[in-house]
Amino acid sequence: MQGLDVAFSALSDQTRRAILSRLAAGEATVMELAQPFAMSQPAISRHLRVLEEAGLILRRVDGAKRPCRLAPDGITAIDQWLGVFRKALEANYARLDKVLATKTVQRKGKQ
């Protein structure tokens, strides 16, 4: 689960989430990504490095450019992890179903 810790830590920054949103629309260069932010390209590059190390984005070499795109595996891992939280809640509620069923039966039994 260490990979997910890194991924969530990477996601805890608003700029990095905005970068991911932009990349959801397709591949982009550092210059293109820097445009909407009041940030230097080196600052954006640092954010990209964090996202890359977290396994959330992939970069390829295209001459002097290193365009970025979303890493499907990383995004899927986060989705699955939310699924775990969901299942833990569901386990509690499944227990509550049983408690409620017992109470309802008791109540009906008394009538």
Partner 1 sequence: MTMTKMTLKTEGDKHIVVTRRFEASPEEVYRAHTEPSIIQKWLLGPDGWTMPVCVSEARSGGKIRYEWSDGKGKGFYLTGEYLALEPFRRIVHVERMHLPDPTPDNHVETTFEQDGSGTLMTMRMTLPDANTRAAMLATGMEHGMEASYVRLEAIL
- Which residues of this chain interact with partner 1, rule CB under 8 A? 1, 4-5, 8-9, 11-14, 17, 81-82, 84-101, 103-104
| Distance of closest approach, residue 31 Cβ to partner 1, in angstroms | 26
| Least separation in angstroms between CB 66 and partner 1 | 27
* Closer residue to partner 1 (CB): 12 or 111: 12
Supply the DSSP symbol for 37. Answer: T
Q: 63 or 111: whose CB is closer to partner 1?
A: 111
d(CA 80, CA 77): 5
Is the CB of 37 or the CB of 81 nearer to partner 1?
A: 81
Residue (14 or 111) nearer to partner 1, CB? 14
How near is the Cβ of 68 to partner 1 at its closest, in Å? 21
Q: What is the largest CA-CA distance in the chain?
A: 80
| Helices 2-11 and 41-53, packing angle to 10 deg | 150
Q: Please tell me the distance from the alpha carbon of residue 17 to that of residue 11, in angstroms, as a whole number.
A: 6
User: If you ran DSSP here, which 8-state letter would residue 56 be given?
Assistant: S
- For the CA atoms of 82, 88, 94, 95, the dihedral, rounded to the nearest 10 degrees, stands at -160
Least spacing, CB of residue 57 vs partner 1, in Å: 17
